[in-house]
Amino acid sequence: MKNTRESIISISQLDNASIDHLLKLGSKRILRKGKVLFHPKSYHHYLHIIESGVVRAYTHYKGKEVTFWLGMEGDIVFPYRTYMFGKTSYETVELLEDCLFHSFLIKDLLHLFESDLKWATWGRKLAEKELIKMEERFISYLFKTAKERYNQLIEQKPEIFNRIQLQHIASYLGMTQVSLSRIRGEY
């Protein structure tokens, strides 16, 4: 459980008045496990901050689901492709647990970004932090074996293994479920 205000501040410090202003524009909602938040080939109008729960983003390749992102408390579900280029997205975002979201219209957020230096800076830092995370994850895939990637995840985010099905973790780690099971069985 992590409240929206903390999530926002953890990206970059902001005064309370600015945050209050944003919070008034958003709304909270609870959605059930299994619900699909974003469908592929559609436009997404909301950004969601996760207060509790877990979601995964996946796409299809050669008839199989590929889970490329997992989000939990404090993470931000931001459909960058739609937001930046007005393009439809290729991903499905599905809830793996009941979730509490704090949701904001991307339109409202963009308006803040384009009119208020403080929010523009916040938006910049959000993208910069996501970029660093993605780059670190990418580099570790570029030269680590399946077993090394598994060990790294166990070390860095052990709680994932208690909350998320192994088939999704396997995909997230870039291997088949059978390979993950084999690696786990070795110990």
Partner DNA sequence: CTTCTTTTTTAACAATTGTTAAATTTTTCC
Partner DNA sequence: GGAAAAATTTAACAATTGTTAAAAAAGAAG
**Residue ranges that bind a second copy, judged by CB under 8 A:** 59, 61-62, 64, 66, 68, 80-81, 84, 113-117, 120-121, 123-125, 127-132, 134-135, 137-139, 141-144, 171, 174
Taking residues 144 to 173 in sequence order and writing x for each that binds DNA by CB under 7 A, - otherwise, the string is -xxx-----------------xxx------
Q: Which helix (H) or strand (E) holds 134?
A: helix 117-143
Smallest gap from residue 18 Cβ to a second copy (A): 14
**Could you give the C-alpha distances from 67 to 17, 23, 32, 170, in angstroms and in order?**
38, 30, 19, 9
Compare residues 23 and 66 and give the one whose CB is closer to a second copy.
66
Q: Which does 40 bind (CB under 5 to 8 A by kind): DNA, a second copy, none?
A: none
Q: With CB under 7 A as the rule, give the number of residues binding DNA.
A: 18
Smallest gap from residue 183 Cβ to DNA (A): 7
Q: Which does 88 bind (CB under 5 to 8 A by kind): a second copy, DNA, none?
A: none
Q: At what angle do helices 146-156 and 177-185 cross, to 10 degrees?
A: 70
Smallest gap from residue 66 Cβ to DNA (A): 11
Vertex 64, ends 60 and 65: CA angle to 5°? 60
Q: Is 175 in the site for DNA (CB under 7 A)?
A: yes
What is d(CA 112, CA 18) in angstroms, rounded to the nearest whole number?
10
Vertex 110, ends 109 and 114: CA angle to 5°? 120
Q: Is 183 in the site for DNA (CB under 7 A)?
A: yes
Compare residues 18 and 52 and give the one whose CB is closer to a second copy.
18
Q: Which does 26 bind (CB under 5 to 8 A by kind): DNA, a second copy, none?
A: none
**Could you give the C-alpha distances from 109 to 19, 28, 48, 92, 181, in angstroms and in order?**
12, 16, 11, 22, 42
Handedness of CA 102, 170, 174, 35 (dihedral sign): negative
Binding site for DNA (CB under 7 A): 145-147, 165-167, 174-185
